[in-house]
């Protein structure tokens, strides 16, 4: 079978990976020289901790297993099972962490509630003040800026894989064929459109108006090397307010009785932080839903995040080296892991994994492959 994959972000690349693994021929088409979108701009968190119980958690856990296997074959991914810590302060935040460890699926996530000393034994860089920390052993990380390149280098070892960069797919022709903006036609047995947050143009023509997917814009930053290891990823208790795993009476109480800092509330923020292979820290994020999106990055959210990180680390942040924004596509139904739609005979659109796309894409692609009988 010949599979045409459109888009070289992580969703497209994982579909290519699944097809090549199953012995098929793959042509992957990307309009840029290499992917430049959400798949490079993210934290690289393989994030299990906040997932909703049920299908979403199962997808994330399966994906983590697949990432670990792929990471063993592709060291350039920088896969590491680093786990995460969410330090909490005060009784209200502590109660949410306690509710999390009381969940039935807490063992599957590797949740544990740690004292500050236990947390510092795991991650000695946490010298600031906090009263306890929620540990999630299953969280992991990869290097997002180079992951797609590393995966591509591995795929290119297969004679069955072809990468066609610098070509925008403009048209689906009949069944199973696409035309790019060079006028070339690529014919296969199946076409999978993994076009990320580009929801207009070809996608609108094929899927119609009413696509149950929206775009979300986030601000991020990265520092110079910290000068010491940050052995786990870090989140703050604001993350409890955004991730479904923390829904509980304790969270309702937190929301009712403890307001988020003004900047955090205005920009729908949480702290997530992970150390890069070079020692720098990737720190975020904000969430912007209303269009038109800003074309510039705002300083207030960065000031807020710097304050939160410095309070956990008990030291000044290294110089900020980079700031950027990214956009992902998210299913409007928060219960849906991804939007997978047959838009023509033999042509599928796979988009909308939202803030979990880096985590879940290996399992999303596996499900596509199973459902399409590859």
Report the residue number, 71 or 357, with the smaller CB distance to ligand FAD: 357
**Least distance in angstroms from the C-beta of 200 to ligand FAD:** 10
Rg over CA atoms, the chain: 21
Report the residue number, 41 or 113, with the smaller CB distance to ligand FAD: 41
**Least distance in angstroms from the C-beta of 168 to ligand FAD:** 4
The alpha-helical segments, DSSP class H, found in 35-174 are 38-41, 55-73, 90-101, 106-109, 116-122, 144-155
Report the residue number, 31 or 241, with the smaller CB distance to ligand FAD: 31
**Least distance in angstroms from the C-beta of 7 to ligand FAD:** 3
CB distance 363 to 63 below 8 Å: yes
Report the residue number, 39 or 223, with the smaller CB distance to ligand FAD: 39
What is the distance between the alpha carbons of residues 147 and 122, in angstroms, rounded to a whole number? Answer: 26
Report the residue number, 23 or 166, with the smaller CB distance to ligand FAD: 166
**Least distance in angstroms from the C-beta of 179 to ligand FAD:** 11
Where does this chain bind ligand FAD (CB under 6 A)? 6-12, 29-32, 35, 37-39, 41-45, 47, 168-169, 194-198, 202, 218, 220, 284-285, 326-328, 351, 353-359
Encode 203-240: b = buried (16+ Cβ within 10 Å), e = exposed: beebbeeebebbbbbbbbbbbeebeeebebbbbbbbbb
Position closest to ligand FAD via CB: 357
Q: What are phi and psi of 69, to 5 degrees?
A: -65, -45
Grouping H, G, I as helix, E, B as strand and the rest as coil, residue 171 is strand
**Least distance in angstroms from the C-beta of 8 to ligand FAD:** 5
CB distance 269 to 286 below 8 Å: yes
């Amino acid at each position: 079978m010949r599979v045409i994959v459109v888009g070289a972000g992580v969703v497209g690349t994982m579909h290519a990976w699944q097809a090549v693994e199953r012995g098929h021929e793959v042509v992957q088409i990307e309009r840029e020289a290499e992917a430049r979108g959400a798949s490079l701009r993210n934290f690289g968190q393989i994030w299990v901790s906040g997932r909703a119980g049920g299908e979403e958690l199962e997808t994330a856990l399966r994906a983590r297993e697949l990432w670990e296997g792929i990471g063993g074959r592709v060291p350039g991914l920088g896969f590491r099972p680093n786990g995460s810590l969410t330090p909490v302060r005060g009784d209200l935040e502590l109660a949410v962490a306690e509710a999390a460890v009381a969940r039935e699926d807490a063992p599957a996530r590797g949740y544990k509630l740690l004292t500050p000393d236990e947390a510092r034994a795991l991650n000695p860089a946490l010298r600031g003040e906090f009263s306890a920390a929620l540990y999630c052993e299953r969280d992991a990380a990869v290097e997002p800026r180079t992951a797609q390149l590393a995966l591509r280098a591995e795929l290119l070892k297969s004679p069955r894989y072809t990468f066609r960069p610098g070509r925008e797919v403009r048209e689906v022709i009949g069944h199973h064929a696409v035309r790019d903006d060079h006028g070339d036609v690529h014919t296969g047995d199946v076409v999978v459109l993994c076009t990320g947050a580009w929801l207009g143009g070809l996608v609108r023509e094929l899927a119609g108006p009413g696509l149950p997917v929206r775009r979300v814009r986030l601000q991020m930053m990265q520092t110079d090397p910290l000068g010491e290891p940050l052995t786990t990823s870090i989140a703050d208790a604001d993350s409890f307010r955004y991730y479904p795993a923390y829904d509980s009476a304790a969270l309702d109480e937190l929301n009712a009785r403890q307001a988020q800092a003004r900047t955090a509330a205005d920009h729908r923020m949480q702290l997530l932080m992970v150390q890069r292979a070079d020692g720098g820290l990737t720190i975020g994020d904000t969430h912007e839903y209303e269009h038109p999106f800003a074309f510039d990055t705002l300083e207030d959210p960065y000031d807020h995040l710097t304050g939160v990180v410095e309070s956990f680390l008990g030291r000044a942040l290294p110089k900020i080296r980079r700031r950027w924004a990214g956009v992902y596509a998210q299913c409007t139904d928060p219960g849906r892991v991804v939007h997978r739609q047959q838009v023509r005979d033999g042509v599928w659109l796979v988009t909308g994994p939202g803030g979990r796309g880096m985590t879940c894409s290996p399992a999303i692609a596996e499900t596509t492959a199973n459902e399409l009988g590859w």
